[in-house]
Amino acid sequence: MGYMRQSHLFTKTRKEAPSDEVSQNAQLLIRAGFVHKEMAGVYSYLPLGMRVLQKIENIVRDEMNAIGGQEIRMATLHPSEPWKQTRAWDNVDVLFKIMSRTEKEYTVGQSEEEIATPIAQEYTTSYKDLPLAIYQIGQKYRDELRAKSGIMRGREFTMKDMYSFHETQEDFDRFYAIAKEAYLRVYTRCGLIAKATEASGGSFTTKLSYEFMVLTNAGEDDILYCTSCAFCVNTEISDQKEGEVCTRCTAGILERATASEVGNIFDLGTKYPHDFGFTFKNTSGEEVQPIMGCFGIGITRLMGVIVEACSDEKGIVWPRAVTPFHVHLVRIGESEAVVQAADTLYEELVRQGREVLYDDRDVRAGEKFADSDLLGMPTRVVVSEKTIAGGVYEVVTRATGEKTMVTQEMLLSAL
Ligand code: ATP
Ligand code: MG
């Protein structure tokens, strides 16, 4: 929901992105005024960027709530103790460590098993308390060595991280399967096609994992996928080769592609419950450790991948589900008749609850069109002397550049 006059919009477009910015996603987002670069791998999100983030977050929320996830907000400033208890303090290379003035050590969350597990433990005494799945959407901090992929690899970034706890392996497997489907729905709803790689866990703590991959040259992963079925593997862990026949369906051939990991789900087994002494009474009355899973989605990376996948030489082409506004109403001309016609249409669109950005600025037509292409709203509606004379509006589809002249009635029904 929402609408805005562009003359009131806090940000402006700019001709150039910072010279040290090499990634396409950040260049476009900076030029369009969606994000502001603080340093390599760290970005602030401005009003248009916030609107996109909120839409992505709401899609993720919706799907996590639908499978029984309950949203919480965990602390991001952490004491060092739980991190020492799991030995991550010395083993996780991306962990930032902070020394306070009283020489107490802290860290900031790079993932939050160390916080989520003790929280779940506090409220779980019997099998009746399980299964449970808690999640948050929040900031993560990682001391990444290379941060050249714009918002796709941040030193600070937004992640949805969910942690689930189960009485039995069977119950974990059940939840894992529905979580995988929910993940695929998230990406589809965001306008992307993601493939789930089959992989054993990447680290010693994990038994089974899926990585969700979107094909894009801006990605940092190398995958093999079947041309016929859904089979997909990360080349890093597979001994299969490009061009081989798919072992799953035996119909397709394995093709190699560059991809970006936009999420992953892990079976963590009992590693964290073990480290924290987390047990509960199972159905047979025995004290046992729960099976734990973790489920991550890179929210800001997803936004970056959308920009990489959905853009052209003129700018961004937002998928409808995550666009900051659905309609970009562009007024060309300053005459009383044009201003009145455009204002009236704006008010009507607002009254109907459309998400509309209204370019009511007094600038040249060429600049307005270039800005509109850069900002990337899916539908542009132009009001000018010419359209008024014909009693119509010009509607331009951003993705194809296709232009049509429509009456107000047609316009409102088409939207
Ligand atoms: P990568 O291999 O890309 O470093 P990861 O295996 O370290 O990812 P996780 O720790 O499982 O990733 O984090 C969950 C999700 O968070 C990832 O699937 C990815 O989408 C996102 N993510 C991870 N690191 C970053 C980062 N530095 N910037 C933005 N998003 C990230
Ligand atoms: Mg990583």
In sequence order, what DSSP letters do the residues of 309-335 get, joined into one string? HSEETTEE---TTT-S-SEEEEE---S
Plot region of 177 (φ>0 → left; ψ -120 to 50 → alpha; else → beta): alpha
Give the number of the atom of ligand 1 that is nearest the alpha carbon of residue 152: 29
The predicted pLDDT at position 415 comes to 83
Does residue 92 lie in a domain region? yes
Beta bridge partners of 331: 383
103 and 244 both lie in a single domain: yes
- Minimal-distance CA residue to ligand 1 atom 8: 261
71 and 113 both lie in a single domain: yes
Mean pLDDT value across the chain: 96
CA of 20 to the centre of ligand 2 (A): 22
CA of 221 to the centre of ligand 1 (A): 11
In which band, very low, low, confident or very high, does the pLDDT at 369 lie, cut at 50, 70 and 90?
Answer: very high
Q: Do you know the residue count of the chain? A: 415
308's enclosing H/E stretch is helix 299-309
What letter does residue 90 receive in the DSSP assignment? H
Does residue 292 lie in a domain region? yes
Other beta carbons within 10 Å of 230: 13
Give me 101's structure tokens. Answer: 């003035």
d(CA 61, CA 270): 26
Give me 50's structure tokens. Answer: 């916030």
The predicted pLDDT at position 208 comes to 79
The predicted pLDDT at position 393 comes to 97
286 and 364 both lie in a single domain: no
Name the least confident of 152-161, 199-208, 307-316, 374-383.
199-208
278 and 369 both lie in a single domain: no
HSE-CB at 395 with a 13 A cutoff on CA atoms is 18
The predicted pLDDT at position 90 comes to 97
Q: Please write the tens of the pLDDT for every residue from 222-257.
A: 999 999 999 999 998 988 999 999 989 999 999 999
- Minimal-distance CA residue to ligand 1 atom 16: 298
4's enclosing H/E stretch is strand 3-5
- Minimal-distance CA residue to ligand 1 atom 3: 261
Give the number of the atom of ligand 1 that is nearest the alpha carbon of residue 202: 6
- DSSP strands (E only) in 113-186: 132-141, 156-166
| Residue 360, C-beta contacts closer than 8 angstroms, at least 6 positions apart | 5, 6, 7, 331, 339, 342, 343, 346
Of 312, 333, 350, at which residue does a domain stop?
312
In which band, very low, low, confident or very high, does the pLDDT at 1 lie, cut at 50, 70 and 90?
Answer: low
Has residue 206 got a pLDDT over 90?
A: no
Plot region of 197 (φ>0 → left; ψ -120 to 50 → alpha; else → beta): beta
d(CA 360, CA 343): 9
d(CA 39, CA 73): 26
CA of 200 to the centre of ligand 1 (A): 17
361 and 291 both lie in a single domain: no
Q: Please write the tens of the pLDDT for every residue from 130-185.
A: 999 999 999 999 999 999 999 999 999 999 999 999 999 999 999 999 999 999 99
CA of 201 to the centre of ligand 2 (A): 13
- Minimal-distance CA residue to ligand 1 atom 19: 298
Model's pTM, two decimal places?
0.97
Read off the CATH number of the domain in which 235 is found.
3.30.930.10
Q: Among 151, 159, 205, 294, name the best residue to mutate to test ligand 1's pocket (greatest count of ligand atoms within 8 A of Cβ).
A: 159
- Minimal-distance CA residue to ligand 1 atom 23: 298
Does residue 238 lie in a domain region? yes
Q: Please write the tens of the pLDDT for every residue from 11-22.
A: 999 999 989 999
Read off the CATH number of the domain in which 407 is found.
3.40.50.800
280 and 329 both lie in a single domain: no
136 and 170 both lie in a single domain: yes
211 and 337 both lie in a single domain: no
| Residue 177, C-beta contacts closer than 8 angstroms, at least 6 positions apart | none
The predicted pLDDT at position 205 comes to 57
Nearest ligand, CA 268: 1
24 and 159 both lie in a single domain: yes
Does residue 319 lie in a domain region? no
Residue of 322, 353, 345 whose CA lies nearest to 394: 345
CA distances (Å), origin 181, targets 27, 175, 206, 267, 320: 33, 10, 20, 16, 22
CA of 298 to the centre of ligand 1 (A): 6
CA of 110 to the centre of ligand 2 (A): 9
Q: Among 265, 301, 305, name the best residue to mutate to test ligand 1's pocket (greatest count of ligand atoms within 8 A of Cβ).
A: 301
122 and 246 both lie in a single domain: yes
d(CA 358, CA 390): 21
Does residue 252 lie in a domain region? yes
Of 278, 312, 346, at which residue does a domain stop?
312
CA of 315 to the centre of ligand 2 (A): 29
Has residue 201 got a pLDDT over 80?
A: no
Number of domains in the chain: 2
Q: Among 137, 262, 264, 299, name the best residue to mutate to test ligand 1's pocket (greatest count of ligand atoms within 8 A of Cβ).
A: 264
CA of 194 to the centre of ligand 2 (A): 19
3-state class (DSSP) for residue 43: strand
HSE-CB at 297 with a 13 A cutoff on CA atoms is 30
CA of 276 to the centre of ligand 1 (A): 25
CA of 124 to the centre of ligand 1 (A): 29
Exposed / middle / buried, residue 402 (Cβ in 10 Å: 0-12, 13-18, 19+): exposed
Q: What is the mean pLDDT of residues 264-273?
A: 96
Give the number of the atom of ligand 1 that is nearest the alpha carbon of residue 154: 28
Does residue 318 lie in a domain region? no
As for ligand 1, residues whose beta carbon falls within 6 Å of it are 111, 142, 144, 153-154, 157, 159, 261-264, 296, 298, 300-301
258 and 374 both lie in a single domain: no
Does residue 40 lie in a domain region? yes
CB 219 within 8 A of CB 258: yes
Domain that holds residue 210: 3-312
Does residue 393 lie in a domain region? yes
Give the number of the atom of ligand 1 that is nearest the alpha carbon of residue 263: 18
137 and 221 both lie in a single domain: yes
Beta bridge partners of 210: 198, 265
Of 249, 279, 312, at which residue does a domain stop?
312
CB 137 within 8 A of CB 263: no
